Chain A
Amino acid sequence: MLKVENLTIAYGKTEVVHHVSFDVKKGSVVTIAGANGAGKSTILNTIVGLHRSKEGRILYKGEDITRTAPDKLVSKGIRLVPEGRQIFAEHTVEENMLLGAYVEKDAKKIRDRMDQMYDRFPRIKERRRQIAGTLSGGEQQMLAIARALMTAPDLLILDEPSLGLAPIIVKDVFKLLTEIKQTGVTILLVEQMVDNALSISDYAYVLETGKIVFSGTRDEVKNSDDIVKAYLGNV
């Protein structure tokens, strides 16, 4: 589905990601774990076209999408749920959903998709006329995910979906991601607090200061004591 080859990313002259390669198979959930500042968000922002890579290439469904504009990638079916949710706090909830479907021109398709989302997220439906900034953190995260699903993406990328949420809400978010996976969506996750992420992942990479230092299936990661101690806390 997604193949990242030899990706190097720099801010100005400072290289922050060095020759990173990884692979996300169709229908799987892949986690990239790593501490603050390891370069996780930078990699995601580069995949979705917000940031330019210095070297390397990104393949999506076999097609080279390196340096493709974000709006094109949305149309191709790649959606990023950004770090910290980044909902449009001054728009209403429904307007946030409509913005999520911005590239879709067919009004009926948008309507249908919105109804589906409202079925899946009854809380969002209840609050559709509210200003999005008045939602709770958990509701905002749900809105951010629902907004990304408005174009029915094939690859959903999430940047720290658990950030700033109460543990019980985090459970809900990951339950939701499991459901989304079952509908055939491929998921790429980035997390610092990886216990929840690992529990739904098929494969994981550990990133340290811009380099991948470990990769393996969920069980391989869990069984690797060093990795668990160093990065993952209590799994």
Chain B
Amino acid sequence: MQQLIFGLANGSIYALMALAIGMVSSTTGIVNFAHASVVMMGAMVSWWMMVICGLSYLPALFVAIAVSIVLNIVMYETCVKKLGDLQNNVGWIITLFGASIILDNIARMMFGTEPQAFPYLFGGKMVTVFGANIMLHELMMITIAVVIGVVYQTIIKRTRFGRAVRAVAFRPSTSELMGIKSEKIILSCFAMAGAVAAVGGALIAPITFASYTMTYSIGLKGFAAAVLGGFGNTKGAFIGGFILGLIEAFICIFVPAGIKDSISFVIMIIVIIFLPEGIMSAKFFNKNLSAAEKV
């Protein structure tokens, strides 16, 4: 039970990262390789605010969210927009990787190389569920992630803004003909992804410790989850994230802990080989879907 909740809790953060990566890739077609660094920055900034500036958890988180939103917008303006036509230009692969490295090194200079203890929500209070001791923080991780997922899905499905996001994702230039400013929609998606990144970073930091290496230790799992679930698919992001988290939690029983981290990537590779568009593309999930004609 403890392992199960632990797996789901970590998985929910992977899901949040996959979700944010999907927000950006669905409207622009690019994969934000610097996303993991923004997650790390989210964690580091909220740690800094709490420990150095003495803020409590929530205000610190809001500062981190604001910083991450700004980071993502700056990244879009400098690393993506300047390149022009993204269909013909894959320069963003390099510029975003570069941004990631810059952010990591800034974090290392500002916050040091030492992993820092990060306070839990509710002061690390435990509750007993079915005889197992479970940290309230872990339950909150899952709850917050699911709430964000549901809210995002509702916005996308039901609101004027959501319709516009899907329209821009599907046909950017036709969306312009409707009077939608594609640019503004894309920028909003980058901003949302930044906010979600900060939340994810701040939630998982107590478990992993806050450190500039989070980019690789945690961030890459977000990409694995995104690939598992299929890019830009909300449900898929959560399925991918949870699967990844659970496998990691239980795999230790079978393999030495040292190769735990490589397992997720082995799974990712297997999924890519058999289901290149992610788990959600399996026939099992698409039984009743009529083939929509794409013109």
Interface residues of A (CB under 8 A from B): 48-50, 69-71, 74-75, 79-80, 82, 84-91, 95, 98-100, 102-103, 131, 133-134, 140, 147, 151
Please give the residue numbers on chain B whose beta carbons come within 8 Å of chain A beta carbons, in ascending order. 160, 163-164, 166-167, 170-171, 173-181, 290, 292-295
User: Is the beta-carbon distance between B160 and A98 smaller than 8 angstroms?
Assistant: yes
Q: Are A89 and B173 in contact (CB under 8 A)?
A: no
Establish whether residues B293 and A99, one from each chain, have CB atoms under 8 Å apart when the complex forms. no
Asked, given contacts A86-B171, A89-B295, A102-B160, whether A71 binds B290 with beta carbons under 8 Å apart, the answer is no
Contacts A91-B166, A140-B295 given: A48-B171 contact, CB under 8 Å? no
Given known A50-B177, A71-B181, A100-B178, contact A133–B166 (CB-CB < 8 A): no
Contact, CB under 8 Å: B295 / A88? no
Query: Is A133 a contact of B293 with CB atoms below 8 Å?
Result: yes
B173 touches A99 (CB 8 A): no
CB distance from A93 to the nearest CB of B (A): 12
> With A91-B166, A91-B167 known to touch, is A85 a contact of B177 (CB < 8 Å)?
no
Q: Evaluate contact between A48 and B174: CB separation under 8 angstroms.
A: no
Q: How far is the CA of A151 from the CA of B177 in the complex (A)?
A: 12
**With contacts defined as CB atoms under 8 Å apart, how many contacts are there between chain A and chain B in the complex?**
74
Determine the distance from Cα of A57 to Cα of B167 in the docked complex, in whole angstroms.
Answer: 30
Docked Cα-Cα span, A75 to B274, in Å, equals 48
* Least Cβ–Cβ distance between B198 and chain A, in angstroms: 30
Known A-B contacts A82-B174, A88-B174; A74 and B295 likewise in contact (beta carbons under 8 Å): no
Q: When A and B form their complex, which 5 residue pairs have the shortest distance between CB atoms, in order from nearest? A: A133-B292, A74-B179, A103-B179, A71-B179, A70-B176
Residue pair B295, A134 in contact (C-beta under 8 Å): no
Contact of B166 among A74, A79, A90, A102 (CB under 8 A): A90
A80 and B177 form a contact (CB under 8 A): yes
If A70-B179, A82-B174, A90-B170 touch, does A99 touch B294 (CB 8 Å cutoff)?
no
With A and B bound together, what is the CA distance between A48 and B173 in angstroms? Answer: 11
CB pair A99 B181 closer than 8 Å? no
Bound together, the chains give a CA A134 to CA B175 distance in angstroms of: 20
A-B contact pairs, 25 of them (CB 8 A): A49-B176, A50-B176, A50-B177, A70-B176, A71-B176, A71-B181, A74-B177, A84-B295, A86-B177, A86-B295, A87-B295, A88-B171, A90-B170, A91-B166, A98-B163, A99-B164, A99-B180, A102-B160, A103-B178, A131-B292, A133-B293, A133-B295, A134-B293, A140-B295, A147-B178
Q: Are A74 and B178 in contact (CB under 8 A)?
A: yes
Closest to B177 in A: A80
Query: What chain A residues lie within 8 Å of B292 (beta carbons)?
Result: 89-90, 131, 133-134
